[in-house]
Chain A
Amino acid sequence: MKEDGYSGWWFPPNISANYGQTLDQGTAIITWVTMIGGIVVIGLMLFAVIRYRYRPDRKALYLHGNFKFETTMLVLVTVFTLGGEFFVLGEISEGVWDKIKYQAPEDAMEIEVLAEQFAWNIRYPGDDGQFGETDNELVDEENPFGIDEDDSAAEDDVVTRGLIHVPVNVPVKVKLRSKDVIHSFFIPVLRIKQDALPGETIDVWFQAKETGEYHLVCAELCGLGHTTMKAGFVVEPLEEFQSWLEEKSEE
């Protein structure tokens, strides 16, 4: 299956409804600035090499430096780099990082993602909105999360393997965990990436604005099956999502 909209040369489609567009715009600004900067420097270098090429009858300029020029350059470079980051991109001043990584909306739908060598396990809390208790002692092939069946909140939990469905235009908060080694939760079309650390639960959130079938992949080397570690990522209308979840819970 070949997915639409992927050129292999540039960004994949961007279906993020929250910060994903900002990230692409920021990257575009950086691309332009670096391209211009690079061309200017290489251009100057080539100009110097051609204009001042060796001639036996000529002596080079005897110049150790120029205090005024050097200080002006230093000030300009400092103002340009710091100013660019602070005010043009606003990365620090506007706290983009906090928003992306830590400020999930209150009403976000919660799911749990548990990475393991070499698969993604997903758990939905079901109608009660509560995840059942888990215990590492209970983990086995049938029960990858180690869900405690005696807990009443666990009754309607839905567990899938290698497949995430999410409703479109609904903020989703992922509680990300790992069983064994470090994995990394990467959905290219959402511009989202977060390492999954064993022993920690890390929150990640996103909101997809377009329906479609995409992939969740592992971006951190996790062993010999790393190259196969992926999951289907399906964005669909809320009703379809709900009926899919219902179907899964009956299984």
Chain B
Amino acid sequence: MTTVTLDTVQSHKESFLTTYVFSMDHKMIGKQFLIASFLMLFLGGCLAMAVRWQLGFPDTPLPGGTLLPETMVDEDGFMLPEFYNVLFSMHASIMIFFAVIPLLNGWFANFVLPLQIGARDMASPLLNMISFWLYVLAGIIVLSGFFVEGGAAAAGWTSYPPLSALAGMGQTLWIIGVMVLGFSSIMGSINYITTVFKLRAPGMAFGRMPLPVWAIFITAFMTLLATPVLTTAMIMLLLDNAFGTSFFLPELIVSGELTETSGGKPLLYQHIFWFYSHPAVYIMIMPAFGVVSEVISVFSRKPIFGYKMMVGSLISIAGMSFIVWAHHMYQSGLNATAAKFFMFTTILITIPPTILIFNWLATLLGGNIRLRVPMLHALAFLSMFMIGGLSGLFLASTYGDIFFHDTYFVVAHIHYVLFGGSLFGIFAGTTYWFPKAFGRMMNQRLGQIHFWLTLIFFNLTFFTMHFLGFAGHMQRIAEPMNYPFLESTQGLHTFITISALILGASQLIFAFNFIRSIFRGKEAPANPWDANTLEWSVKNPGHGNWGLSVPIVYHGPYEYSHPEVLEDFLPQNRHQSGII
């Protein structure tokens, strides 16, 4: 039998430019998203370090501060309050829009989705390429804010008007950038949905789709339905900011001067923004739910517990995420009926994630658990995400939110969900699929060191922030020591900063391991984890996925440790009579 690979069938030549830059290969686009988002993650992390320095060591100039322009620091190298506002605003914007969302919905979605359903590529490779380059363009636009007069955006990642509408050029660029990024997300999501509907391999019924595919598929629906709403808000905000309209602005008195604006409502923006941004909270985590389910099942050598219940939970989270938005606005002057309604829906939406956690636990129990690096991260995800979910209860409740709203409790909560949840999910998935993406294994020892340092110092950094929240410490203030009732928190702040600096430095271990392994790692076999899903049945990297014919799927993705199979796994495309 002669084997014909796709490379020999498709004989068109790829130049350097079409292979590495303007590539239409889903694997390459996935890796482009991975590298670009990791760079953004690094940048966002550096900004966070500067924020922490200011809070932890307010009497010591920022290291290297004197090198920064005088719009950011004074002559001694101390940070100016306006630069502090820029730092946390850009930290959050970069992390949310340019790191977490594209890592989950760009890197995993592009790399994993077509491979796991047995497709040769995305439904539209061209649209896929445009989606990546719009993301790059959006990043350049937002970051260019650092170089314009007045500095980058400083109104927080939520950019509430009137503050954002009254701000300068940096804010305008932020709005345009977020809008462009929205187009990128919409294009990506259309592509993912179409690919799942049209390009599944023979036998890949919906009931046999691996959970990462389900999660990305459902997330794509959320992105598709919610992102245009964000774009609406951004267009109106842009008009208010740069062209003198008043969608969100009533008559104002700004520094003693009456403005020409009239008739707008600041709250309108918040409703539109959160109508997108609450689904977006799940866009920032749902693909990680899928990734973690996969990793937990593979490394427990056990079928995922309650597959249908998992899918049902993901779908109900997505549905309900559209009717909880105003729980971000309890203190904004919401009327009583609305407050009750959103409190009720918010309580409802805690149910499906609880089911996910129980199912993950039930998968672990009775397994044969291998604690490889991806699994460590997946277990960290399970426990840290759960803490984030539980601290969310304080904020969902009317009792808690009045006090905790806009305090460090919220900062702690969001970091448990986005770092403890999403980022550990990203580490789990990245270390899991690294061998497939680069054909080499990552160093296990370095991976373990990175994991433990990250887990420990993540908790020392962010768990302590709950206490700042209890102390009533407002977020987004550059000089907490201005407030007599916060003087007792300086020790905590210093402790958090030291932990955060170590946490940040630990990520360099990951970066080193990642880069080194791409070039020097041990060569990886095609299926290093003994996993069932289709991506492990293709040879490592290279162009194209399968040869002449796409694989035929005979089983569900989680047939681990089947009593009638000799090994403890059964690839989806290996026929074994009697097992469906």
Contact = CB atoms under 8 A, between A and B. Distances in A.
A64 B303 contact: yes
B258 A136 contact: yes
B331 A62 contact: no
Contacts of A218: 474
A97 to B, nearest CB: 5
A116 B484 contact: no
B190 interface: no
A218 B302 CA distance: 52
Nearest to A37: B390
B228 interface: no
Contacts of A58: 368
Interface in B442-474: 467-468, 470-472, 474
B154 to A, nearest CB: 8
Contacts of B220: none
Given A2-B488, A199-B251, A224-B81, A61 B561 contact: yes
Tell which of A64, A100, A200, A214 has the most Cβ of chain B within 10 Å: A64
B198 interface: no
A9 B471 contact: yes
Contacts of A224: 80-82, 85, 154
Contacts of B336: 95, 97-98, 101-102
Nearest to B560: A60
B498 to A, nearest CB: 17
A60 B474 contact: no
Interface string A59-87: 11111110001100110011001100100
B366 A91 contact: no
A179 B561 contact: no
Contacts of A30: 393-394, 397, 399-400
A54 B369 contact: yes
B361 A70 contact: no
A10 B470 contact: yes
A135 B251 CA distance: 12
B368 A1 contact: no
A195 interface: yes
A41 B389 CA distance: 12
Contact of B383 (A10, A41, A181): A41
B366 A22 contact: no
B490 to A, nearest CB: 8
B488 A182 contact: no
A238 interface: no
B340 A49 contact: no
Interface stretch (B31-39, B352-360, B432-440, B514-522): B352-360
What range describes how many residues of B lie at the interface? 35 or more
B398 A63 contact: no
A136 B253 CA distance: 8
Given A184-B406, A193-B402, A214 B485 contact: yes
For the complex, would chain A's binding face be called helix, strand, loop or mixed by DSSP majority?
mixed
Contacts of A7: 471, 488
29 contacts: A2-B487, A3-B484, A8-B468, A8-B488, A27-B394, A31-B394, A45-B364, A48-B365, A52-B300, A54-B370, A60-B366, A63-B302, A64-B305, A65-B306, A77-B358, A96-B399, A137-B258, A139-B253, A140-B256, A180-B162, A182-B163, A186-B406, A191-B402, A193-B403, A198-B251, A199-B250, A199-B264, A221-B163, A221-B476
Interface string A170-187: 000000000111101010
Interface in A128-143: 136-137, 139-141
Interface stretch (A104-112, A147-155, A225-233, A242-250): A225-233
Contacts of A26: 397, 399-400
Interface of B: 80-82, 84-85, 154-156, 160, 162-163, 166, 249-256, 258, 264-267, 300-309, 331-333, 336, 339-340, 343-344, 347-348, 350-351, 354-355, 357-359, 361-362, 364-371, 379, 382-383, 386-387, 390-391, 393-394, 397-400, 402-403, 405-407, 467-468, 470-472, 474, 476-479, 482-489, 491-492, 558, 560-563, 568
Given A60-B561, A62-B561, A96-B399, A9 B492 contact: yes
Nearest to A96: B398
Given A38-B390, A91-B343, A1 B484 contact: yes
A11 B390 contact: no
Contact of B485 (A3, A23, A38, A45): A3
B228 to A, nearest CB: 25
B369 A53 contact: yes
A181 B370 contact: no
Contacts of A62: 302-303, 560-563
A81 to B, nearest CB: 6
Contact of A77 (B351, B397, B467): B351
Contacts of A139: 253, 256, 258
B561 A41 contact: no
A141 B256 CA distance: 7
B399 A22 contact: yes
A70 B306 contact: yes
- By Cβ-Cβ distance, the 4 closest A-B pairs, closest first, are A199-B250, A26-B399, A8-B488, A188-B472
A52 B471 contact: no
Contacts of B347: 81-82, 85
A60 B84 CA distance: 52
Nearest to B309: A70
Contact of A182 (B160, B348, B476): B160
B267 A73 contact: no
A18 interface: no
Given A48-B369, A77-B354, 18 more contacts: A8-B487, A10-B467, A45-B364, A58-B368, A59-B561, A60-B366, A63-B303, A65-B305, A91-B397, A91-B399, A98-B336, A100-B402, A116-B253, A140-B256, A179-B254, A180-B162, A198-B251, A224-B82
A219 B368 contact: no
Given A63-B305, A198-B162, A225-B81, A219 B486 contact: no
A216 to B, nearest CB: 11
Contact of B491 (A8, A78, A198): A8
B479 A228 contact: yes
Given A11-B470, A12-B472, A117 B343 contact: no
A26 to B, nearest CB: 3
A23 B354 CA distance: 25
A77 B81 contact: no
Given A11-B472, A60-B301, A181-B163, A52 B479 contact: no
A215 interface: yes
Contacts of B84: 227
B470 A9 contact: yes
A193 to B, nearest CB: 5
A129 to B, nearest CB: 25
A215 B477 CA distance: 15
B492 A8 contact: yes
A43 to B, nearest CB: 10
Contacts of A186: 406, 472, 474
A8 B264 CA distance: 40
Contact of B357 (A41, A78, A98): A41
Contacts of B489: 8
Contacts of A6: 471, 485, 487-488
A156 B111 CA distance: 72
